[in-house]
């Protein structure tokens, strides 16, 4: 049930036919876990808080540094040296006190990932390394959780939704992250953000798209990004969509799965 204050706060959502009162109520009842409170996680958390998602969690064990502030807009200069989840909590509370925020100041690993994602309806991965992306996507499959995952390059980004634990209209499992990227690139071939750089506003663009996709998944309007990868080229301001399908040979939900738990990851 939305209060009078919430009805006014979310009035511009409620007048949208695709959202309305029931959609806004669904957002209030939803719980979303965001992996990372950095370049992607910062705008995700702010827009989902503004949208009225009832429970927001953030997993990040990092502290705010000066070089973060070029793109991680949920943090400010006085926050340097603070835990990112703490500065994020303050901003979210100031933005929307109706949102319950849960701070997880831990490093995600195979030992804690299942317990962390278990209490949420939807997981958004804004991590900055392939190991975490594979871990989160595998864990979401085993936990039966939908996943929205995005990645940033210097001037490019990508976004997709994974529901690999569910079947399509043909009765086949939906594609996994491993159907899209069967193996991580060899170590050292993809430079880290600190080495290669990243356009700050691009992080805001992709993070906002992640938030929009989360809202669409919760409310249930439009066409999901399951089986579709959106790619952004910021140099040319070009958007392209690639369709991808389940690989029967993928090791997670393929015809002969070889990954049956998270034991292959370092705890």
Integer CA distances (angstroms), 186 to 131, 150, 189, in order: 12, 20, 6
Question: 134-143 burial by CB neighbour count: b if 16+ within 10 A, else e?
Answer: bbbbbbbbbb
In a domain, 132, yes or no: yes
State the pLDDT at residue 125: 98
The per-residue pLDDT for 266 is 75
Establish if 167 belongs to a structural domain: yes
CATH classification at residue 114: 3.40.50.720
**Per-residue model confidence (pLDDT) at position 188:** 67
Residue 5 located in a structural domain: no
**Domains: count for the chain:** 1
**Count of all residues that appear for the chain in the document:** 267
CA distance 177 to 156: 19
pLDDT for 232 equals 97
CA neighbor of 149 nearest in space, from 30, 34, 26, 27: 34
In a domain, 195, yes or no: yes
Look at residue 195 and tell me whether its pLDDT is greater than 90: no
Instruction: Reply yes or no on whether the pLDDT at 186 is more than 80.
Output: no
Domain that holds residue 145: 14-243
Q: Are 159 and 229 contacting, i.e. CB atoms less than 8 angstroms apart?
A: yes
Model pLDDT for residues 62-94, shown as the tens digit of each residue: 999 999 999 999 999 999 999 999 999 999 999
pLDDT band at 185 (very low <50, low <70, confident <90, very high): confident
- Asked if the structure places residue 253 within a domain, the reply is no
CA distance 135 to 128: 13
Amino acid 1: pLDDT: 86
Buried b (16+ CB within 10 A) or exposed e, 57-80: bbbbeebbeeebeebbbbbeeebe
Res 190 pLDDT > 90: no
Would you say residue 70 lies in a domain?
A: yes
pLDDT above 90 (res 184) = no
12 φ/ψ angles, rounded to the nearest 5 degrees:
-75, -20
What is the pLDDT confidence band of residue 187, given thresholds at 50, 70 and 90?
Answer: confident
Per-residue pLDDT at 150:
97
Q: What is the pLDDT of residues 39-58, one digit of tens each?
A: 999 999 999 999 999 999 99
Distance CA 148, CA 216 (A): 11
Predicted confidence (pLDDT) at residue 189 exceeds the cutoff of 90: no
Cα 6 off chain centre by:
25
Average pLDDT value over all residues in the chain:
95
Mean pLDDT of the 138-156 span: 96
pLDDT of residue 267: 63
Q: How many CB atoms lie within 10 A of CB 256?
A: 8
* 180 domain-assigned: yes
pTM of the shown model: 0.95
pLDDT number for residue 194: 64
* In a domain? residue 1: no
């Amino acid at each position: 049930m939305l209060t009078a204050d919430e009805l006014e706060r979310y009035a511009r959502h409620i007048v949208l036919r695709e959202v309305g009162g029931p959609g806004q109520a669904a957002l209030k009842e939803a719980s979303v876990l965001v992996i990372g409170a950095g370049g992607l996680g910062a705008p995700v958390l702010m827009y989902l808080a503004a949208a009225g998602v009832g429970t927001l969690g953030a997993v990040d064990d990092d502290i705010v540094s000066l070089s973060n502030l070029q793109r991680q807009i949920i943090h400010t200069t006085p926050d340097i040296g603070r835990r990112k989840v703490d500065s994020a909590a303050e901003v979210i509370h100031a933005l929307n006190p109706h949102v319950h925020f849960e701070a997880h100041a831990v490093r995600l690993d195979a030992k804690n990932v299942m317990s962390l994602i278990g209490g949420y309806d939807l997981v958004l991965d804004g991590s900055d390394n392939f190991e975490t992306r594979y871990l989160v996507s595998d864990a979401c499959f085993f936990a039966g959780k939908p996943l929205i995952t995005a990645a940033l390059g210097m001037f490019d980004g990508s976004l997709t939704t994974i529901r690999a634990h569910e079947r399509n209209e043909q009765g086949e499992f939906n594609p996994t992250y491993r159907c899209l990227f069967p193996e991580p690139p060899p170590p050292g071939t993809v430079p880290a953000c600190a080495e290669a750089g990243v356009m700050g506003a691009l992080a805001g663009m992709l993070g906002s798209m992640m938030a929009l996709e989360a809202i669409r998944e919760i409310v249930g309007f439009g066409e999901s990004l399951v089986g579709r990868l959106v790619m952004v080229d910021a140099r040319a301001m070009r958007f392209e969509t690639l369709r991808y399908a389940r690989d029967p040979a993928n090791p997670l939900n393929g015809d002969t799965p070889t990954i049956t738990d998270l034991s292959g990851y370092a705890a």
